[in-house]
Structure 1
């Protein structure tokens, strides 16, 4: 486990959660369904982003 993989998934979760929160707060009321959507967006982003490996870097100069 590398720090880059963890940081990548955390940033993706924050981005997905904030996008869902902004969309949900457009009418100044956040319902239970919108809260569940925000939570699932964060969890989905964490899981999918963590599962995808980072691209290998080449040492060719």
Structure 2
């Protein structure tokens, strides 16, 4: 399965944002500082995931 670097980063950012948002809404409201935390979690996960290269798949040897 080939996943592009962009989609890998988007999914990582969404997962981090969802986790931060789930924690933020535990008390029923989202404060400004919790909103900033959610945004920073998304951007941080996006940047880190973007920076890590995808693993290269081994190409089978060519029969001659």
Same-fold status (TM-score > 0.5): yes
Count of residues in Structure 1 that have an aligned counterpart in Structure 2: 59
Task: Report deviation, 1:13.
Answer: 0.6
- Corresponding residue number in structure 1 for 2:8: 8
Aligned to 2:30: 30
Structure 2 alignment gaps of length 5 or more = none
Q: TM-score, normalised by structure 2?
A: 0.86
Structure (1 or 2) with the greater helix fraction: 1
Distance 2:13 2:50 in 1: 10
Q: Tell me which structure has the larger Cα radius of gyration.
A: 2
TM-score by length of 1: 0.90
How far does residue 15 in structure 1 lie from its aligned partner after superposition? Answer: 0.3
Question: Structure 1: where are the runs of 5+ without partners?
Answer: none
